[in-house]
Amino acid sequence: MISIRDFNLWYGEFQALKGVTLDIPKNRATAFIGPSGCGKSTLLRTFNRMCDFVPAVRTEGAIEVAGRDIFSGDANELRVRVGMVFQHPNPFPMSIRDNILYGPRRMRRLGRAEADELAERCLRDAGLWDEVRDKLGQSGLGLSGGQQQRLCIARALATQPEVLLMDEPTSALDPISTALVEELMVQLARERTVVVVTHNMQQATRVADKTAFFYLGELVESGPTKQLFGNPVQQKTKDYLTGRFS
Ligand SMILES: Nc1ncnc2c1ncn2[C@@H]1O[C@H](COP(=O)(O)OP(=O)(O)OP(=O)(O)O)[C@@H](O)[C@H]1O
């Protein structure tokens, strides 16, 4: 689904990604792991060109999503196809219903019935419907942290993205909310491509079909999650997984 070929990225003089080549499979969950500062979030944010917002970013190499070069088309159109959920839940200051409808309404007019149906479907897909069905008109900011994150997932699903990017989506959540979001990732990856950055290695083993390990801007090793954790090829991966450095 995502093809990355010899990709390099610089913030000014500093090279944050070095010669990364990786394939991300369609309708599977892929995890990016590695120590802080190794470039996981940078690569994730490149997939929907969030890096465009950072001045002095320069890239070399190729990234395609579903066979299309991400750098040559319109970035807003790309962001409809490649949705994103952030580390800290960030509902917009508006009702639960309007949070979901925000993206689709920017693309076209929605009738009342269609809007209701879309809001319900996204909230169901994000596992939140039963908790909010009676308060769709209330502010999204009034929900608990875990509910807010599932609202953000529902909002990201509203434009029917082919790819869902998740940048440490549970690091601000309690264990019960974390378990709910992890369950959701597994379900969502049945019908779309999910890429998740995580510091939690257990989380990678629970949710990801494929895992990629990064170190100092380079992709050290990638493969099926069971294989990478059970039988890593590179010494650097073994050292990281056994806690020799973090
Ligand atoms: N906007 C920016 N401007 C300059 N340098 C940046 C910027 N964003 C990230 N960097 C640098 O690029 C490198 C990679 O950062 P990135 O956030 O991608 O790492 P990460 O692996 O996701 O780290 P973490 O796990 O701590 O979030 C780091 O050295 C970081 O300081």
Kindly give the number of the ligand 1 atom that is closest to the alpha carbon of 197: 22
Q: Total domain count for the chain? A: 1
Q: Is residue 109 part of a domain?
A: no
State the Cα–Cα distance between residues 118 and 125, nearest whole angstrom.
11
Q: Is residue 42 part of a domain?
A: yes
Q: Whose CA is closest to atom 22 on ligand 1? A: 41
Kindly give the number of the ligand 1 atom that is closest to the alpha carbon of 41: 22
> In the numeric block, which tokens belong to residue 114?
């269609």
Q: Is residue 101 part of a domain?
A: no
- Burial of residue 17 (CB within 10 Å: 0-12, 13-18, 19+) is buried
Q: Is residue 123 part of a domain?
A: no
Q: Is 10 in the pocket of ligand 1 (CB under 6 A)?
A: no
Q: Is 173 in the pocket of ligand 1 (CB under 6 A)?
A: no
Q: Is 42 in the pocket of ligand 1 (CB under 6 A)?
A: yes
CA–chain centroid gap for 197, Å, is 7
Q: Is residue 111 part of a domain?
A: no
Q: Is residue 139 part of a domain?
A: no
- Centre of ligand 1 to C-alpha 37, Å, is 5
Q: Is 46 in the pocket of ligand 1 (CB under 6 A)?
A: no
- Burial of residue 27 (CB within 10 Å: 0-12, 13-18, 19+) is middle
Q: Is residue 114 part of a domain?
A: no
pTM of the model: 0.95
- Contact between 193 and 163 (Cβ < 8 Å): yes
> In the numeric block, which tokens belong to residue 171?
């690091």
Q: Is 52 in the pocket of ligand 1 (CB under 6 A)?
A: no
Written as tens digits, the pLDDT of the chain (246 aa) is 999 999 999 999 999 999 999 999 999 999 999 999 999 999 999 999 999 999 999 999 999 999 999 999 999 999 999 999 999 999 999 999 999 999 999 989 999 999 999 999 999 999 999 999 999 999 999 999 999 999 999 999 999 999 999 999 999 889 998 999 999 999 999 999 999 999 999 999 999 999 999 999 999 999 999 999 999 999 999 999 999 887
Q: Whose CA is closest to atom 28 on ligand 1? A: 37
Q: Is residue 79 part of a domain?
A: yes
What distance, in Å, lies between the first and last C-alpha atoms of the chain?
30
- Supply the range of the domain harboring residue 63: 2-91+161-241
Question: 36-53 burial, b if ≥16 CB within 10 A, otherwise e?
Answer: eebbbbbbbbbbbbbbee
Q: Whose CA is closest to atom 20 on ligand 1? A: 37
Q: Is 39 in the pocket of ligand 1 (CB under 6 A)?
A: yes
| C-alpha Rg value of the chain to the nearest Å | 18
Q: Whose CA is closest to atom 6 on ligand 1? A: 11
Helix H or strand E segment including 215: strand 210-215
Q: Is 246 in the pocket of ligand 1 (CB under 6 A)?
A: no
CATH number at residue 201: 3.40.50.300
**ipTM rounded to 2 decimals:** 0.97
Q: Is 37 in the pocket of ligand 1 (CB under 6 A)?
A: yes
Give strand pairing partners of 29: 194
